[in-house]
């Protein structure tokens, strides 16, 4: 069995919110001028991740199936004179890098993942196998436009970040466990977000042979 304790949690559901409104809502959380080149996903992930106070000794596991959909769309639309800025911000781990480069905050271990129905399991497994004392699990999606029409972007926009530690400590919000078990199942990233956002207790199969048990401490709900 693999286990970690949830010490901090931040989530942001930007369902139905236009990118300009998201930018307007979150820009005060970043230094003046820093948000000009930030993507919607960068703003959302940066906002929730910054609430955990990331530091050099933390491990960071970042999960996003589609990553920077809008930057990808913009970069592709910039041909035949491709935009260097959109090229560099369209790479998969960009959302986390936008925050940490802005803060000049190095981090030893950073594992960006993509994936389908097993993405939540793979991200949790990466967190629970990390040898770092504190691991920050973060993730999110931003809705696409023409990429979405082809099934190549998320329909939803959201972000989450949770600080996971080996020891429970005082004030722990909850506990997440992965254990091997008979049966099969999966847990999409959107569903993991919903569980975290609602602080919902969950026990169920998240991959073939793997069960996740997520329990919130009553007082912290």
Which residues of the shown chain bind another protein in the complex (CB under 8 A)? 2, 57, 59, 65-67, 72, 75-77, 79-84, 87-89, 91-93, 97, 100-101, 103-119, 122, 125-126, 129-133, 146-147, 150-153, 180, 207-210
Name the token pair of 201.
């207790």
Of 47 and 94, which has the nearer Cβ to another protein? 94
Q: How far is the CB of 138 from another protein (least distance, A)?
A: 14
Question: For another protein, which is the closer residue by CB, 70 or 122?
Answer: 122
What backbone phi and psi angles, to 5 degrees, belong to 156?
A: -115, 160
- Cβ at position 61, least distance to another protein in Å: 10
Q: What angle do CA 165, 171, 174 make, to 5 degrees?
A: 60
Distance separating alpha carbons of residues 48 and 59, to the nearest angstrom? 16
Report the C-alpha gap between 5 and 13 in whole angstroms: 23
State in angstroms the smallest separation of the CB of 76 from another protein: 4
Cβ distance to another protein smaller for residue 13 or 148: 148
Q: Please provide the DSSP assignment of 143-205 as one string.
A: B-SHHHHTT-SBS--EEEEEEEESS--TT--EEEEEEE-SS-----HHHHHHHHHTT--EEEE
Nearest-approach distance from CB 215 to another protein, in angstroms: 22
**Minimum distance between the CB of residue 179 and another protein, rounded to whole angstroms?**
11
Give the side-chain half-sphere CA count within 13 A for 175: 15
Nearer to another protein, 154 or 216 (CB): 154
Q: How far is the CB of 167 from another protein (least distance, A)?
A: 15
Q: Which residues contact 49 (CB under 8 A, 6 or more apart)?
A: 10, 60, 96, 99, 136, 138, 161
Nearer to another protein by Cβ, of 9 and 128: the residue is 128
Q: For the chain, how long is the longest CA-to-CA vector?
A: 57
Q: Residue 81 has what DSSP assignment?
A: S
Output 171 or 183, the one with its CB closest to another protein: 183
């Amino acid at each position: 069995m693999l286990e970690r304790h949830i010490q901090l949690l931040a989530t942001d559901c930007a369902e139905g919110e236009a990118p300009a409104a998201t930018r307007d809502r979150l820009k005060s959380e970043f230094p003046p001028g820093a948000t000009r080149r930030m993507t919607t996903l960068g703003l959302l992930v940066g906002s929730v991740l910054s609430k955990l106070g990331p530091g050099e000794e933390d491990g960071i596991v970042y999960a996003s199936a589609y990553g920077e959909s809008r930057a990808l769309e913009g970069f592709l639309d910039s041909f035949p004179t491709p935009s260097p800025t959109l090229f560099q911000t369209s790479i998969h781990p960009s959302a986390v890098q936008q925050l940490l480069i802005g803060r000049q905050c190095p981090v030893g271990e950073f594992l960006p993942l993509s994936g389908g129905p097993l993405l939540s399991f793979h991200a949790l497994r990466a967190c629970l196998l990390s040898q770092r004392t504190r691991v920050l699990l973060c993730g999110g999606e931003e809705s696409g436009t023409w990429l979405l029409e082809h099934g190549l972007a998320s329909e939803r926009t959201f972000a989450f970040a949770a600080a996971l530690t080996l020891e429970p400590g005082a004030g722990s919000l909850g506990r997440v466990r992965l254990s091997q078990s008979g049966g099969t199942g999966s847990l999409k990233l959107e569903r993991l977000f919903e569980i975290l956002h609602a602080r919902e207790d969950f026990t169920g199969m998240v991959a073939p042979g793997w069960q996740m048990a997520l329990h919130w401490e009553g007082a912290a709900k």
